[in-house]
Amino acid sequence: MPEHIAFIMDGNGRWGTKKGLPRTVGHAQGAKVFKKIVEYCMKIKIASVTFYAFSSENWTRPEDEVSELMKIMDNYLDELLTKFSKYDVELRFIGDILRFEEIDVKMYNKMKDIQIKTVGRTMKLNIAMNYGGRDEIINAANRAFKRNGGNIITSEMLEKELHTQGQKDPDLIIRTAGEKRLSNFLLWQCAYSEFWFTDVLWPDFNEKVLNEAIIDFSNRKRRYGGI
């Protein structure tokens, strides 16, 4: 059983388009699936779960789609505050969330409030918002370099500056909608992750599909460069 599963939730907009609906309807449905999968991961006792919700590149999408995405995320933050704050789950928003302070200070404050209220709990739930893997590594390296007085840094020093510091790297990364790339996601942390790709669009993703991925993962031999 993987201890840490990361999800690249792809295909929301395509799901809406395929059904003759606005792309934003697909994003709203994807948010519902996110909740179900988090609860299922809690049930089967996955220690850490990470979701790629909004990348730093997603700002280039049409303005009306980005605006609707922000509304969906903001509404879901309210649910996270009321529901997930009651669970034994620590929520962490990874990425440059300061960008949201400029866009919507209330939304930013909700993120900070959720993190403060849930810190120290058992299961770790990471939601990547305005996240970019390359930026994370560069920023972490700069912080580690300064903290070490401008001297050479080690991988251990850099890891302490990552958004996921203190957590195990993902054992399994799942990407939906038939795409087979990382898209700037957890580039440092994925060094020895197993990958599992499916043609299923994220709004159609469910517990059965997740179980297929976990079974496939369990049948693999992880050698970490050894024999």
Catalytic residues: 10, 58
Residue 173, class by beta-carbon neighbours within 10 Å (0-12 exposed, 13-18 middle, 19+ buried)?
buried
**CA torsion 66→197→174→168, rounded to 10°?**
-130
Element (H, E) at 158: helix 155-159
Tell which residue, 148, 170, 173, 172, has the closest CA to residue 160.
148
Q: With the C-alpha atoms ordered 186, 106, 31, 42, is the resulting torsion angle positive or negative?
A: positive
Say if residues 95 and 130 touch (Cβ distance below 8 Å).
yes
Tokens of 83: 């529901």
